[in-house]
Each structure stands twice: as structure tokens, then as C-alpha cells.
């Protein structure tokens, strides 16, 4: 919700193994129901089955919903038809790997970037020990967070076997990446854990070519899935310039940090078709911004906001209320400063949804190992079932 997101991660995973293996993608969004999975599995007879777990819950404080029950049922439907090894991966999986491996009874897990599946498959074929491969888990093993993937991550679209029609009919938004990694250290955020902290770039020309392919395939809107599109001003403006050269004419949007952009930044992006900006603002109180580990302050937020609005862009701000140190004063400061952010939409999150992540992320920020909060994660994870 609110619309199905094209499972871009699977294109990368399939692309990374397709040279040496036959691959079939089954998209449960468009299949509609995992009860029919059995038929697909019978027809294809795979030697190994990978499952992408993107979302664990809906992160909705008012109507919280966890997806583990459905995933369990899905695995049961798969197991009814096949007993080949099951490999789990995806951003949701990477957040709770040990718990999910156990809950779903999977054989292997790939943490973070799925290109590593190629290494796992090779090791299985060669009867080699898989436990030494960074980022690969087996049942009962401990999470081993890998360094970011340093190989290539070229996008090979699997549209022939997969199909984008479902997404074109349901709103027409398609997606692509221009970089991986997040260099920021906001205390509540999972992105550096999932993608690593080091930025790795797709060349601006290739990024524009990917966008062009989606436009030619009928996309009505594009979302750049980078953790923070403007985390590198120079690369992201070059991407926009290549969009202009490539003739991208459909609108697109992305996540941004409200930092002060170079003067020409938003005008160039607007010329390249950028139509909406989602700022990860979180607070308009300098004290709370510091507490969240943000690299910017209220003045910068106002400058970034005004620059985007003046370029004719639609602007949204995410706001996180009630983080560590929040009190009536900081809350009032945020709410009163929000009045200065004209022509914007706001998404408010109360930390009762995010606080579960906070305890863990604060520790990660202080370079304490993620695992030390296993008990905490475990309690939260159990509450999702
Ligand atoms: C961009 C984004 C969005 C955009 C998506 C726009 C679009 N059209 O694509 C928008 C804003 C719409 C969005 C919405 C939501 N999102 Co979001 N989103 C992201 C973000 C930043 C990037 C996702 C992405 O596409 N990455 C690029 C692709 C290529 O990477 P990938 O899918 O992770 O795949 C790689 C690996 O995971 C792995 N892999 C993937 N599948 C498989 C399978 C196997 C077998 C293997 C081995 C490996 C593997 O290999 C791939 C290549 O390396 C992530 C955070 C992050 N940095 O990862 C959150 C994230 C995925 N979102 C999240 C959430 C919660 C949501 C929402 C529920 C939020 C809400 N309350 O509305 C909605 C759900 C939308 C939906 N219908 O699913 C959570 C999911 C975890 C959770 N708690 O459930 C994440 C992880 C952020 C977080 N809070 O931690 N999101």
C-alpha cells in the first residue's frame, strides 16, 4: 500500500546469476495468490528457490500489521510442492535475519545486496563450505553483516520473463537506482545497515538509459529508489543532466536530505523532470535534529525547502515526533517552524512505531554491534507475528 512497488531487487538478483543459471521470477504481486505457486513450481522444477522479503510490517502506528504470518503460509505452500533449498533475501530479511531464518525454516539467507547469491550458488555446486562467504547465513548460524558489495550491480531487466504490465495498470510507477549506500548516520534509520554506508554509483549515462527503458516500456512515473538521492550533489546533478540528454519526459521523484543545494541544483533537476521531493526532515528543532544524528539544522531545512518550492517542485517532509529528548518545548518548536514550510505535504510518524528501532540504531550509531540488541529485536519481531 498505497500502490504495489515493482520488485526491483529481483531484477538485480536474477541478473547476477542469469549467465550461469536458468532463472524464473514469480511475482506474487501480479500472481495475486500464493496458493497457485505450487503449480508454477511443478511446471518449472527448480533446484533452488529464492524468496525476496521486502516488507516486514506496514509501519503504521494506527493499524499495525505484520506480514510474517503470510510469509509463513507462503513458505508452507512452497514446501507442499518442493523440498529444494530455500534462500531468503531482501531488505526486510536483512533487518531480522536470524529471527526470519528460524521462523520460516529457510536453508540459506543472503544479507544485504543479493548479488552474493551467485557466490552461494557456486559454492553449493562445488560442494564448498558456504559459511565463509560474507553475508551468507545458514539455518542456526549467526548474522554476519558483510561489507558493501564491491562487484558490479548492473541492472538487467527481466521484463520478458517477469512483466511490468501489472504495475503499469496499477498506477504506472516504475523504479530504478542511481547509487547504493547511505553515508548519513541518523540514529533511527536502517538504510546504512541494508545498503552499507559507502556510496557506490551507477554512471549517470547508464542511470539515464535505465530511466529511458522504463519510459519506453510505458512507465507513467519513475521513483529513484536511492536511500538519499542528493547524498552526492555532483553525481545526482549529472544524472539529471543525462536525463535531459536522453529525453526523459515523464515525471519522477526521490528521497532527499534537506541540505543546502548548489544554486542550479533544483532548477536543473526540475528541467530533467523531477516533480516531487520527499525530504527526510524529521524535526524542526535543532536540539531534536542533533538527537536524531542529523547532519543539517533548521536553517538548512528552510533553505532546501525554499529552493525546491521555487523550482516548482511538489515537496513533502517526513516528521518524526517523540524521539529521544523530545519534550513539549521541542515539539512546539517543530510544529511552529513547520508553519514556515509553505506548499508542502507532511507525513508524521510517532516514535511509538519507530522507537523499537531507535534503541538498536542508537547502539549501531555508537558503533556497538547490532547483535548486542538481539533480545530487543527478538521481542519486537515476536510482536509482528
Ligand atoms: C525506495 C523505497 C520506498 C519507495 C518505493 C518506490 C518505488 N516505486 O520503488 C516508497 C516511498 C514508495 C516506499 C514505500 C514503502 N516502504 Co520503503 N523503502 C524504500 C528503500 C529506500 C529502497 C528500496 C529499494 O527499492 N531498493 C533498491 C533495490 C534494488 O534493493 P532491494 O529491493 O533491497 O534488493 C536488493 C537486496 O535486498 C537483495 N534482495 C532483494 N530480494 C532478494 C531475494 C533474494 C532471494 C536474495 C538472495 C536477495 C534479494 O538484493 C537486491 C539487490 O542488491 C528501502 C530502504 C533501503 N535503503 O533499502 C525502504 C524499505 C524497503 N521500505 C520500507 C517500508 C516499511 C515501506 C512502507 C511500508 C512505508 C509505509 N508505511 O508506507 C511502504 C510500502 C510500499 C509497498 N507497496 O511495498 C522498509 C521495509 C522494512 C519493514 N519495516 O517492513 C524499508 C527497508 C525501510 C525501513 N523503514 O527500514 N519505500
Q: Using 70 as the pLDDT threshold, list the residues of the chain that sit under it.
A: 1, 156-162, 351-385
172-384 belongs to which CATH class?
alpha beta
**Which of the listed residues 26, 29, 53, 55 should we mutate to test ligand 1's pocket, taking the one with most ligand atoms within 8 A of CB?**
55
pLDDT of residue 162: 60
Residue nearest to atom 17 of ligand 1 (CA): 55
8-138 belongs to which CATH class?
alpha beta
**Relative to the CA of 225, which ligand 1 atom is closest?**
1
**Which of the listed residues 23, 50, 54 should we mutate to test ligand 1's pocket, taking the one with most ligand atoms within 8 A of CB?**
54
**Relative to the CA of 3, which ligand 1 atom is closest?**
77
pLDDT of residue 139: 86
pLDDT of residue 100: 92
Ligand 1 contact via 97 beta carbon (within 6 Å): no
Alpha carbon distances (Å) from 35 to 4, 41, 54, 311, 315:
19, 11, 20, 49, 41
Nearest partner of 179 among 198, 166, 156, 160, judged by Cα: 198
Q: How far is the CA of 316 from the centre of ligand 1 (A)?
A: 19
Ligand 1 contact via 281 beta carbon (within 6 Å): no
What does the mean pLDDT of the chain come to? 88
172-384 and 8-138 share a CATH fold = no
What are φ and ψ of residue 316, in 5° steps?
A: -125, 150
pLDDT of residue 353: 46
Ligand 1 contact via 146 beta carbon (within 6 Å): no
First to last CA, the chain: 19
Q: How far is the CA of 227 from the centre of ligand 1 (A)?
A: 10
Ligand 1 contact via 231 beta carbon (within 6 Å): no
Question: Furthest-apart CA pair in the chain: how many Å?
Answer: 63
**Relative to the CA of 4, which ligand 1 atom is closest?**
77
Contact 163/25 with Cβ under 8 angstroms?
no
- C-alpha angle 262/264/268, rounded to 5°? 125
Kindly list the domain boundaries of the chain, sorted by start residue: 8-138, 172-384
Q: How far is the CA of 323 from the centre of ligand 1 (A)?
A: 23
Contact 113/148 with Cβ under 8 angstroms?
yes
Amino acid at each position: 500500500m498505497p500502490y504495489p512497488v515493482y520488485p526491483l531487487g529481483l531484477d538485480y538478483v536474477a541478473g547476477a546469476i542469469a549467465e550461469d543459471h536458468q532463472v524464473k521470477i514469480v511475482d506474487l504481486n501480479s500472481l495475486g495468490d500464493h496458493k497457485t505457486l505450487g503449480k508454477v513450481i511443478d511446471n518449472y522444477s527448480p533446484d533452488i528457490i529464492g524468496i525476496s522479503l521486502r516488507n516486514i510490517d506496514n509501519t503504521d502506528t494506527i493499524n499495525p500489521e505484520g506480514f510474517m504470518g503470510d510469509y509463513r503460509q507462503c513458505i508452507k505452500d512452497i514446501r507442499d510442492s518442493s523440498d529444494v533449498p530455500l534462500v531468503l533475501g531482501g531488505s526486510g530479511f536483512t533487518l531480522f535475519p536470524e529471527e526470519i531464518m528460524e521462523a520460516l525454516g529457510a536453508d540459506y539467507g543472503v544479507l544485504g545486496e543479493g548479488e552474493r547469491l551467485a557466490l552461494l550458488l557456486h559454492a553449493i555446486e562445488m560442494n564448498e563450505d558456504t559459511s565463509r562467504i560474507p553475508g551468507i547465513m545458514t539455518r542456526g548460524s549467526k548474522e554476519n553483516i558483510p561489507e558493501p558489495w564491491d562487484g558490479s550491480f548492473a541492472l538487467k531487466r527481466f521484463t520478458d520473463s517477469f512483466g511490468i504490465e501489472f504495475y503499469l495498470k496499477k498506477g504506472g510507477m516504475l523504479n530504478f537506482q542511481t547509487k547504493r549506500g547511505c553515508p548519513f548516520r541518523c540514529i533511527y534509520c536502517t538504510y546504512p545497515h541494508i545498503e552499507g554506508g559507502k556510496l557506490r554509483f551507477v554512471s549517470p549515462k547508464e542511470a539515464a538509459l535505465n530511466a529511458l527503458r522504463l519510459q519506453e516500456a510505458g512507465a507513467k512515473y519513475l521513483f529513484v529508489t536511492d536511500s538519499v538521492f542528493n547524498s552526492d550533489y555532483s553525481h545526482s546533478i549529472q544524472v539529471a543532466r543525462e536525463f535531459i540528454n536522453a529525453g526523459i519526459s515523464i515525471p519522477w521523484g526521490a528521497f532527499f536530505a534537506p541540505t543546502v543545494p548548489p544554486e542550479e541544483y533544483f532548477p536543473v533537476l526540475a528541467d530533467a523532470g523531477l516533480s516531487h521531493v520527499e525530504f527526510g526532515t524529521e524535526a524542526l528543532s535543532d536540539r531534536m535534529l542533533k538527537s536524531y544524528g542529523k547532519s543539517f539544522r533548521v536553517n538548512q531545512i528552510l533553505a532546501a525547502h525554499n529552493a525546491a518550492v521555487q523550482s516548482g517542485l511538489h515537496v513533502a517532509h517526513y516528521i518524526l515526533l517523540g524521539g529521544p529528548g523530545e519534550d513539549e518545548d521541542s515539539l512546539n518548536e517543530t510544529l511552529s517552524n513547520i508553519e514556515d514550510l509553505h506548499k508542502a505535504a507532511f507525513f508524521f510518524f510517532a516514535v511509538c512505531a519507530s522507537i523499537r528501532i531507535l534503541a538498536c540504531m542508537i547502539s549501531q550509531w555508537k558503533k556497538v554491534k547490532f547483535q548486542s540488541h538481539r533480545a530487543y529485536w527478538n521481542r519486537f519481531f515476536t510482536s509482528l507475528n
